Amino acid sequence: MWRIPQRMKRILFSAYCGSCGILLFANKVAWTIDLIGNSMYPAIHSNDKALIEYLTVSNYRVQKGDVVILKNPYKPTHLVCKRIIGMEHDYITNEDGKIIKVPKGHVWIEGDNKADSEDSRDYGPVPYGLLESRVFFRWWPTRRMGPIKLPGEEDILETRVKSGLYLSRSKESEEQ
């Protein structure tokens, strides 16, 4: 019968605890992701690498303009990256002029590159439960390293609202 030295036990215990800590951090706090596809161009290019965090989604703190990772409603085993355009109780005017109220517990998501994006315009409001994480920082390529935001964010959102495609407030708040 052999014995494990006390020092080796401490090393193994530390490695075990460290591994558990890394797994907990990766699954509950933040991690890195490869972003593939052109639906979020120009804000995100295909093959960008970014940091994602889970706390904003799990604490129901997402807001309009956030870029999120979510399960594709048509293919739940696939993840997609989109921007939140509308929150529950917002009114969205689609391309046919039809006004859609985002139901409670749902968000309206779209890709920044409308011509190359399958999003809420195709499958309607998305249940909040499909949201996985929020993309908050691009770390690769280094020449574009920094927080994820839409170039000219205010201009583009303002243009969408002015064009009548997106109403930013609920009808109730406009009546008050």
- Catalytic positions, written as ranges: 39, 82
Nearest to 113 by CA among 61, 35, 32: 35
Q: H or E segment at 100?
A: strand 99-101
CB 84, CB 65: distance < 8 Å: yes
- How far, in Å, CA of 113 to CA of 121, rounded? 13
Task: Return phi, psi of residue 160, to 5°.
Answer: -65, -40
- How far, in Å, CA of 67 to CA of 88, rounded? 16
- How far, in Å, CA of 106 to CA of 51, rounded? 24
Q: How many Cβ atoms are within 10 Å of 122's Cβ, its own excluded?
A: 10
- Look up residue 117 and give its two tokens: 């994006």
